[in-house]
Amino acid sequence: MDFSVTDFNVRLRTIRLREVVLAIVIGFVLNVVLVVIFPTLGEGDLIIMPLFVFVLLFFIWALKGTHGLSDDFSKLFERDNRREIFYIFLINLLFVFLIVAFFANLDILFGSAYPDMEPLMDFTPTYYDTSSLVLEVITSIILAPIIEELLFRGVLFNRLKIRTGIVAAMIISSFIFAIGHEFGGITSAFLFGICMCIIYLKTDNILMTMSIHFLNNLVAVLLEFGNADAFLFQMPLAPITLLLSIVSGLLILVYIFEETKRLRA
């Protein structure tokens, strides 16, 4: 990284991959040490918390003394940016439901014909305690959007596009981003990553992608803890959910195609 650069967005582009990798390795080692010293940190999602915090501290150190972040924040509320944030958030959120909605509709279809058939999907409500909710808010809603956007768009995508070009950088960085998600969500995470790369390229504002990521994770957590699948993937909403997911997937592909063509023009 180049500490002589004082612009936030330009400094972010100077952070090298090897510097981030080193920070992650150190954070991982510290994470293991802390889990050994404090075994309770090894329980559930707490195990990754020290690593998240250390990587965040690395970025705070790497970007200290820069300016321009307040201007980027104010741009989030400009009309065109607000509309794009909401649009990309909405179509990506709805597309996430595609796989589950597809199998849920199969269950409904075959279940009506074969009542004794074991359903493919289980939508039995799950109840969470307050501590689980607080931890999910901290990791998924607050830390994940900040750290993942800085890592995958701010550093990985920026460094790759220098070596491979824009399109290849979008594909590679989004694929690496996607494989960190559960199997059923890899496709949606990959397309989400592509959309984030496009928006970051268009605006040179990492807060834009963080905002969409934040909204996506916020609603996902609320749906999960509210056991929304109990009504989204059962009659009469299941076919509607599937249709909306298919339409959203098509809209994402159109958005990616049109914006990539515009960026390459």
pLDDT tens sequence across 5-56: 999 999 999 999 999 999 999 999 988 888 888 877 666 666 778 888 999 9
- Position 215: which residue type? L
CB count within 10 Å of CB 130 equals 7
**What was the pLDDT predicted at 120?**
66
For residue 140, what is the enclosing H or E element?
A: none
Q: How far apart are CA 128 and CA 224, in angstroms?
A: 10
Distance in Å from the first CA to the final CA of the chain = 30
Which residue, among 97, 96, 95, 105, has the nearest Cα to 236 in the 3D structure?
A: 105
Query: Chain centroid to CA 209: how far?
Result: 9
> Mean pLDDT across the chain, nearest whole number?
90
Can you tell me whether residue 67 is helix, strand or coil? strand
The band of 193, judged by pLDDT with boundaries at 50, 70 and 90, is: very high
The answer, yes or no, to whether residue 131 has pLDDT greater than 90, is: no
**What was the pLDDT predicted at 234?**
85
Contact at 8 Å (CB) between 157 and 171? no
The answer, yes or no, to whether residue 243 has pLDDT greater than 90, is: yes
**What was the pLDDT predicted at 44?**
64
Which residue, among 157, 154, 174, has the nearest Cα to 63 in the 3D structure?
A: 154
The band of 230, judged by pLDDT with boundaries at 50, 70 and 90, is: confident
- Distinct helix (H) and strand (E) counts, the chain: 14, 0
> 109-123, 166-180, 193-207 — which is least confidently predicted?
109-123
Compute the average pLDDT of residues 74-98: 95
The band of 184, judged by pLDDT with boundaries at 50, 70 and 90, is: low
The band of 174, judged by pLDDT with boundaries at 50, 70 and 90, is: very high
Tokens of 182: 């559960």
**What was the pLDDT predicted at 39?**
79
Tokens of 253: 């592909």
